[in-house]
Amino acid sequence: MGYFIGTDDAVKIFVEDVGPSDGQVLFLIHGWPVDHRMFEYQMNQLPKMGFRIILMDIRGFGKSDRPYTGYSYDRLSDDIRAVIETLQLKNIALGGFSMGGAIAIRYMARHSGYSIRKLALFGAAAPSFTKRPDYPHGMAKSEVTKLIQQTYTDRPDMLTGFGQIFFAKYISESFKNWFQSLGLDASGHGTAQTAESLRDEDLREDLGKIIVPTAIFHGMKDQICPFVFAELMHKGILDSELIPFKYSGHGLFYDELEKFNRELIRFLE
């Protein structure tokens, strides 16, 4: 079932609701620059186990509205709050991949973990996606600025290059084409604006505000969000569990699909 939910700034957010209505709720936030369909291989399996999966397209992506402004982590976390309140979701698990993980962290800090009982972070783009004077990890800000420039001049080529370092295992051409199509379906401007947030936002002070059990899923071969990110999140988040994926790159949800789904179900139960 799919429907739209309005936010306080009149942006409509697309939500897909899969699985039994009385099932334990897992709310999933996709990463940059794709949409909720990246979780296809979780949507296929978890509802069979009795889970209700709520998935939203971040504004600017998928079927959600594409406003010209409003792509800060604060605003994107407020969109999560709007969905949770509208659907009257209680005692749920929140999961976020890559930039979606960063937004989930900001949600936990900004909204004091409202309605969340557990948090799952998948290859999260945190604590900071880019290097800083006191933080030598991740991409240089200039590298992300180049991605933004490519987005405005040749977005298909940018997506092709980004996709080449996404997965650690062999991916068929058909799968590559499908995955790239998710990025092509996004708003070009929304893709660039959220990349600016990836470049500029700093979540280090948010980590200590998370007070629910947290699982950190992270690929040890990740070339986009290096594994040290997971180690820093594990250190900064009280009551967190680090689950390494030895054979995975950034796309751990597909690189080690069976392990990913198995560990996620274990953590949720």
Q: What is the pLDDT of residue 75?
A: 98
pLDDT tier at 23, thresholds 50, 70, 90 = very high
Phi, psi of 141 (to 5 degrees): -60, -35
Which CATH number characterizes residue 73's domain? 3.40.50.1820
Q: Is 222 a catalytic residue?
A: yes
Tens of pLDDT, residues 55-100: 999 999 999 999 999 999 999 999 999 999 999 999 999 999 999 9
pLDDT tier at 218, thresholds 50, 70, 90 = very high
Question: Taking CA 132 as the corner, what is the angle to CA 126 and CA 135, rounded to the nearest 5 degrees?
Answer: 65
Place of tokens 């936990």: 108
Instruction: Using alpha carbons, select from 120, 123, 100 the residue that is nearest to residue 223.
Output: 123
**Which residue among the candidates 64, 98, 240, 248 is catalytic per the annotation?**
98
Which class for 252: exposed (0-12), middle (13-18), buried (19 or more C-beta within 10 A)?
A: buried
8 vs 42: CA distance, rounded Å: 30
At 13 the three-state DSSP class reads strand
Q: Is 8 a catalytic residue?
A: no
Q: What is the pLDDT of residue 1?
A: 79
Q: What is the pLDDT of residue 59?
A: 98
Q: Are 94 and 120 in contact (CB under 8 A)?
A: yes
Q: Is 250 a catalytic residue?
A: yes
Place of tokens 């990463």: 31
Decide if pLDDT at 136 tops 90.
yes
**Which residue among the candidates 30, 36, 218, 250 is catalytic per the annotation?**
250
At 199 the three-state DSSP class reads helix
Count structural domains, the chain: 1
89 vs 115: CA distance, rounded Å: 7
Question: Taking CA 248 as the corner, what is the angle to CA 242 and CA 250, rounded to the nearest 5 degrees?
Answer: 85
Q: Are 50 and 73 in contact (CB under 8 A)?
A: no
Tens of pLDDT, residues 150-162: 999 999 999 999 9
What's the average model confidence in pLDDT over 2-20?
A: 95
**What integer best gives the mean pLDDT of the chain?**
97
C-alpha distances in Å from residue 179, one per residue of 42, 167, 171, 204: 15, 11, 10, 30
Domain that holds residue 123: 2-268
**Which residue among the candidates 222, 240, 248, 255 is catalytic per the annotation?**
222
51 vs 70: CA distance, rounded Å: 31
Q: Which two tokens stand for residue 210?
A: 């998370």
What's the average model confidence in pLDDT over 177-205?
A: 97
At 21 the three-state DSSP class reads coil
Q: Are 260 and 232 in contact (CB under 8 A)?
A: no
Decide if pLDDT at 108 tops 90.
yes
Question: Which sign, positive or negative, has the C-alpha torsion 20, 21, 22, 25?
Answer: positive
Q: Are 179 and 21 in contact (CB under 8 A)?
A: no
